[in-house]
Each structure stands twice: as C-alpha cells, then as structure tokens.
Structure 1
Amino acid sequence: MNLVKRNQTNPNSLFPSVMDELFKDWMGGSALSNSRVVPPVNIKETDQFFTVELMAPGMKKEDFNIEVDNDLLTISSEIKTEKNEEEGKFTRREFSYSSFKRSFTLPETVNEDEINAAYQDGILKITLPKKEEALPKPKRLIDIS
C-alpha cells in the first residue's frame, strides 16, 4: 500500500508540480484567488440614511479598517497568514496575503459624526445617517390670507 500522494501529472514524482498547485489554488478558492477579489458592494439610500453593504464572508470584524477623511469613506483589509507543516525531513511553508481597498466620496448630506458599522453573516454594513437639514420636511398647510 502506497501512503505517499503522487503527483497527478507525473506519477513518479513525490511532490506536486507548480502547475498542479497553482490550478488547485486557483480553482479551489484558496488565498491565491482571494487576493485577486474585491468584495462587491451594495449602496442604498432612504430618506434618513445611506447604507453601504460589503460582502466579505469568512472574515472577522477585526479584519476591516474603516476611515472617513475629507468626505472620503475608505474600507480596507489586509490579511497575512503563514502555515508550516513538517513531515520527517521535509518542511512545507505556505504564505498567503489578501487585501482590498474601496473608497467612496460621501455626499455633503452625510452626518460623518454618526456613521456606524456592523459585521454579521459575512456582510459589513455601514450606516451613513443624513444631516438634519437634509432630511425631508413634512408637508405643511399654507394659510391663505
């Protein structure tokens, strides 16, 4: 019984080829492919606020950095991981790095002091409340004199 995993391209080799690893990573959704992905964003507007929803499953709230500077909202993340495996005389080290940065110009109507964010079920949700003067005014009846 052979317990050593053989290279599928070259059965006489004990190590996977670079191409095997590349395609496995690319097709399997590992960190290599994640490093090329910018999370999709939905932006909604109501009378009271704007909502930015960024889909980023598998992350933690600590992975995000959210900044507001000069009417520019920037959402970014940078994740570095390292994995070491030792078997006998061989050591396998894998590194992964993924990052993204999304920036949005805020409308003048946003109250920057009241912006808040929450991360739940793989979605980062940022709520951008509107300034009081930007809120819709209720209808009023005009008296005729």
Structure 2
Amino acid sequence: MAILKVNNQGAVRNWNGIFNDLFGDFETSNPNFGLNRNGTQIPVNIEEKEGAFEVSLLAAGRNKENFGLNVENQVLTISYNDEKGNEAVNQKMLRKEFGTYNFKRSFNLDEKVNTDAISARYENGILYVTLPKKEEVKPVSKQIAIQ
C-alpha cells in the first residue's frame, strides 16, 4: 500500500510565482506617479497643530535632493524623481520586492495656510512639511471720544 502526500500549497505558490514573473516587471517599466508598487498611494499623515499643519510623508530609502515641493494656486505638490533609480542595471534579479519609485502627490491648501513660510525637513525616512497658519485677524475694539 502506497501513501500519497499531496501538497496543495506548492501548486498555489508555483502559480503565484509564474504570475509574478510574467507581470511583476510591468509596474517598474510603467512609472505611475503617486503610486507605490502595489498600486496604493505613498502614505501621508496630516496633523493640525496649534500654529501649523504638518504633513508627514513616508519616503524611506530616498535622497532628499530628489524631492520637489511646489505651491501654485493654493495647491501643494510633493514629488520625487530619481532618474538614476529607473535605469536598467545589468544584473539578474531573482526577486525584487522594494525600490524607490517616482511619485507625485498634490494637496489643496486652506486659505489659513501661510504659503510664504512653508518649510520641509527629511529625517529617518520621513519627509515632514510644515504649513504655518496665517495670523488670525482679530476685531479691534477701541473707545471713540465724543467732542
């Protein structure tokens, strides 16, 4: 009597491997601005603080020199463009699960944001963009003397 052991996991794993081999490089040959390799956008957190808004963008493994920040018509655009990262390298990749892909994200700014004082810093793989709030115009109350 023979005992046959069936491993269905191997067949599924092999099919996934074939699928990934056939279509896995499509994303790297077709740059989709603003999208990660898995088709989602670059993660962003936006926090409101007392005197400013802070945008935190997850951008690990990137060079700060390749970031671009632009404000035009109350729209903040954050982009990353690395031409060297897109060049084909003569090496045989057995598996590629990460990379630094180009992206572009845009945000509509509130009229409360002082666009002249926007600042940015890049630390520990996170790009922090500080959007200071404008000073609120407070109504002035004054006593008028009658003559």
TM-score by length of 1: 0.61
CA gap of 1:42–1:20, structure 2 versus 1, over 3 A, is closer
Contact (CA 8 Å) 1:50, 1:127: kept in 2 or not? yes
- 1:40 equivalent to 2:46? Answer no
Note if contact 2:55-2:130 (Cα within 8 Å) is conserved in structure 1.
yes
Give the drift of 1:105: 0.6
Flag the structure with higher strand content: 1
Gaps of 5+ in 2: 1-13, 30-35, 94-98, 139-147
Is 1:126 aligned to residue 107 of structure 2?
no
- TM score, norm. by length of structure 2: 0.60
Match of 1:84 among 62, 67, 90: 90
Cα 1:45/1:20, change in 2 over 3 Å: closer
* Residue 56 (structure 1) aligned with residue 59 (structure 2): yes
Structure 1 residue runs of 5 or longer lacking an equivalent are: 1-8, 10-16, 86-91, 138-145
Measure how far apart 1:60 and its partner are: 1.2
For these two proteins, the number of residue pairs brought into alignment is: 111
Following superposition, the deviation at residue 108 of structure 1 comes to 0.5
Separation in structure 1 between the aligned mates of residue 116 and residue 129 of structure 2, nearest angstrom? 13
Identity rate, percent: 43
* Conserved? CA contact 2:61–2:100, under 8 Å: no
Structure with higher RCO (Cα < 8 A, 6+ apart): 2
Aligned CA RMSD, in angstroms, stands at 3.5
